[in-house]
Structure 1
Amino acid sequence: MPTPQRLLTTVALTAAALGALTLTACGTQGAAGKPAPAALSATPSATPSPRMLSGEELERHPDPTVRAQAVAIRITNTCAPGTARELPPLPAVTDLAEEVKGPPGGEQPPVPAEPPTPAEPPVPAEPPTPADVPVPLPTDLPEPPGVDAPASYDEVPLDKVDRCAADAHADRVRAAFAAGPPADEAALRKALVGADYLPENVHRMPGGGALRVRVDLRDLSPNDNLALEVTATAGGVRVDAFGAPTGRDREITEIRRTGRT
């Protein structure tokens, strides 16, 4: 099964950003303008730094996005080993901040401002050359495409891997409300965020009735379709998984579920 493209893009961007900060930290200079000790050795260490987090430790990373990705990757690879690429070892955000500060008392020399580059005069555009003889169009061309059909807002079926991942996520959500049902939407959101679901992925469903939200997991789904519907009940919450069409133009709250409004 192909690795989900959006998940790989997000993982790559996260790793690249943290890696760039690490390289910046290694280049910190002291007061005399000499490289700090971290930059003296150009040969990488044979053993990984003890500050680098990998595996299950990433689920406790200070960055909530890293935690959410690490949980989703572990669940996906439990359901289908090798489906999702593992996150690379990343530094903890607190450790990274300490390294960027540099050694105590060290100050970076001011970077001289570059002189402004003089603007070049605009090059006049050449007028287009009209064709001498018009080229006739072939007579067997197909009809031009009409107006695109409206995007579908109907739920889609989940495959075996997504269904397995949905069950694991549902167990985690129910465990977050083991002490009882949420008192209000704020309490519901707080519990979901505490279970490492990103706040921007939690959407309140409109209308009256029971408190109900949808958790958009399409970016972390093996096939970009997984979503959860969490409804407050008298004893806790009910969690229903469903498949949402891909595309951010289709809001998760507007997906029509079979037999449900």
Structure 2
Amino acid sequence: MTHIRGPISKFTSGRRVLAAAALTAVTALALTACGTEQNDGGGKAGSAGSSTASQQPQPEQAAAQALFDRFEKACPEPGVNSRRPTGASKPDTAEPETIAPGETPPADPIEPAPPTGPEAELDDRDWCVSAHHEQRVIAALQMLADPTPATVRKTLNGLGYTDERIHHLKQDGKKTRFYLDLREDGGGRLCESGVAAGAVSDVVPCVAVAEGPFKVTSETRP
């Protein structure tokens, strides 16, 4: 049997120091592990938040969609075109009009020719929506002292029209010409043909393909 020499309190104090040191080390490891879990969790949460944010619509796109929704709700349902004549033509049995001897034939046709281009292809809803867009775009373009493609794009962006809606920006002397794609997500063929020229800026309706990449099929350029 080994005899312990020296006071018991001395050895007890040493074990307490070792135990305290061990406890401190264990606590430090636990805190480190906890911190690692928090950092990993925070990193994962940040990644998930970024992923969620990327899936949400951009503010510009949301503002543009709200603009389109407001104009569309203020206009009639699609399908009616009051600009296209619907009256019945004269019956085949009707006698042709005669011109008296010496009488000058009328210079204008007796019946108006059927409309073509945007007049024939766009319905009342398209014309209503177009008028809303034209009013605000023309007012903004008239304020441009130097209507370059860059300044026109910036102005249109500021009105809520994203780059995906703006096409064929082209300098034409001191003017800039462009197109706006105003087709609805569910269909429609409305577009706008515009010219930015300061106080004489103008925007008129045009007709685009119903589906696929933007392409103008009919227009009356300003």
User: TM-score scaled by structure 1?
Assistant: 0.42
Structure with bigger gyration radius? 2
User: TM-score scaled by structure 2?
Assistant: 0.49
Q: Which has the higher strand share?
A: 2
Higher relative contact order (CA 8 A, sep 6+): 1
